[in-house]
Structure 1
C-alpha cells in the first residue's frame, strides 16, 4: 500500500520528494531518460501525467508540455505502456495524473485493471470531486489502489473531512488558489494552512504548486510530508536538457 511505503520512508527522511513528468514531453524516449535521472538522484515517488488537451489545473509550463506531447502523437495506450515499463524498471511508486475524461473514455475499470496489473500505486484526477467519483472509488478500492484527492486553502474544514473519508495514500495540498507553476510565497500562512490540513486527515500530506528549489523544500520540512516539484522540473528540462535533471534533483535532496 502507498501509505505504508510513505510511512516507512518518513522514518528515514524528514520530508519526501515527489516529481512530475508529462509522458511524451519532449519525447517518449526523453521521458524515460528523465525518469531514470530522477530516480537515480533520489526522488521518492513520481507523478506520470497522461497528456490531455484541456488540463484545467495546470499552468502554462505544464500546459505547453501537454500540448507538445499531444502534437507528437502520444496516445493513451503509449502512456500506459510507458507506465508499465517504468513501474517494473524502477523501485519507487508511480502514480498516474490525468483528467477524468481520459478515464471515462478508456473505461474506469479497465484503467484500474491496468494500474493493478502493472504496479502503479494510485492516481490523481484533479477534476473529479468525491461526490461524482463512486465508480472510480469502487474500481480503485477493489484493486487496493490509492485515489489521491486535493485540498486547497479555500477548502472548508467540513469539506476537508469529507475528502479525507474517501482519500487514500496521501492528500495533495495545493499551496494557493490558481494553477500550477505560479509563484508561491512560502510563509507562515502555508504553515497555518498545513496545520489545518493535518487536523482533517491522518494521511500524509503532500504540498505542491510553486515549489521550485531546496529552500522551498527545506521550509516545508516538518510541516508537510512530501514536497511536490512539477513545473520547475519541466523548466529545467526545457532550458538545460535531460542531462541537467539529475543535478537539479541532487541539489534538492542533498545527494552527492
Structure 2
C-alpha cells in the first residue's frame, strides 16, 4: 500500500459461495485489499449485521474449506491482496500450521485472528513467518503506547485500528477520540495503519484518511447491501456504487492531507 486504500470486507458464503465470488470481483475494482471473513458461530467482535451474515452462511452448510475454494477461484482473475479474517477456535481445531498452509495455498496474503491476544500469539507468528503469511493485529483507542508499538511490529501487513469501543456496525459520525487515536498511531507506528469499525460513507473515509490513516476497512455497510439484495444484479450495482463513493472519499482525504 503506497497510497491509501479501501479494504473491503465480505463474509464468505453469504448468501452462497458463487455470490461471494461475484461480490469480490465487483469490489476488486475499487479495493486495495479484500478482507474475507470465514463464518463463525460465535463472532464476539462483530455486531448484528455481520453476525447475521455468519448465520446465513453457516445455515447453508458453509465450511472453512469452501472459503479457501472461493479464494482459489478469485486468484484465477486477480492478484489483489486478500486477508482472511477468522477466530482462533477454527484455526486451533484445524491445527495452526495446517490452517496457515491451506490459506497460503489458496492465495491468502495475510490473516486476522480477532480473538488471539498478541501475548499468546508467539507460535502463530512463528508459523506465519515460516510460511510467509502476513499477520494483522488489532489495537483500540485505549491501547497503551508500548503495546501499540509491539502490535505494530507484529503486524506485517497493516495494524488494524479499531475506531471506537464496542463491536462492528455502521455509524453516522466518529468521535474526536478516533482522530486522536489515528494521530497517536501515526506518530508511534512504523508500519501501515488501517481504520475499521463503523465506516459506511465516503465522508467517513475522507476524514479518516485526512487524519493520517493508510486505509479504511468497511464491512457492515457492504454486508447490509447483501442482506437487502441477496445474490442479484442489484446487489452488485449497490456494492460497486458504495465502493466508488468510499474510494472517492479516500482520494479526497489524501489530497487534503498532502496540501
Equivalence for 1:237: 226
Equivalence for 1:76: 64
Residue number among 199, 202, 205 corresponding to 2:187 in the alignment: 199
1:67-118 deviations in Å (ceiling 9; x for gaps): 1100000001111111222133213100100001111111111111123223
What root-mean-square deviation, in Å, do the aligned CA atoms of Structure 1 and Structure 2 show?
1.6
Alignment of 1:1-256 (within 5 A): 6-7=1-2, 10=3, 15-40=4-29, 42-183=30-171, 185-222=173-210, 223-240=212-229, 241-254=235-248
* Offset, 1:206: 0.3
Q: Is the 8 A contact 1:88 1:119 kept in 2?
A: no
* Offset, 1:184: 6.0
* Offset, 1:147: 1.0
CA separation in 2, counterparts of 1:108 and 1:235? Answer: 32
1:164-198 deviations in Å (ceiling 9; x for gaps): 23221110000001000052632433221111112
* Offset, 1:210: 0.4
- Greater mean alpha carbon deviation, residues 128-137 or residues 65-74: 128-137
Q: How many residues align?
A: 243
Counterparts in 2 of 1:181 and 1:36: CA distance versus 1, 3 Å: same
Q: Is the 8 A contact 2:85 2:112 kept in 1?
A: yes
Q: Secondary structure of 1:62's match? A: helix
5+ residue gaps in structure 2?
230-234, 250-259
Q: Secondary structure of 1:219's match? A: helix
Q: TM-score, normalised by structure 1?
A: 0.90
CA separation in 1, counterparts of 2:78 and 2:46? Answer: 26
Q: Secondary structure of 2:62's match? A: coil
* Offset, 1:201: 1.5
Runs (4 or more) in structure 1 with deviation over 3 Å come to none
CA separation in 2, counterparts of 1:157 and 1:231? Answer: 29
CA separation in 2, counterparts of 1:243 and 1:184? Answer: 23
CA separation in 2, counterparts of 1:184 and 1:125? Answer: 27
Q: Is the 8 A contact 1:38 1:246 kept in 2?
A: yes
Equivalence for 2:254: none
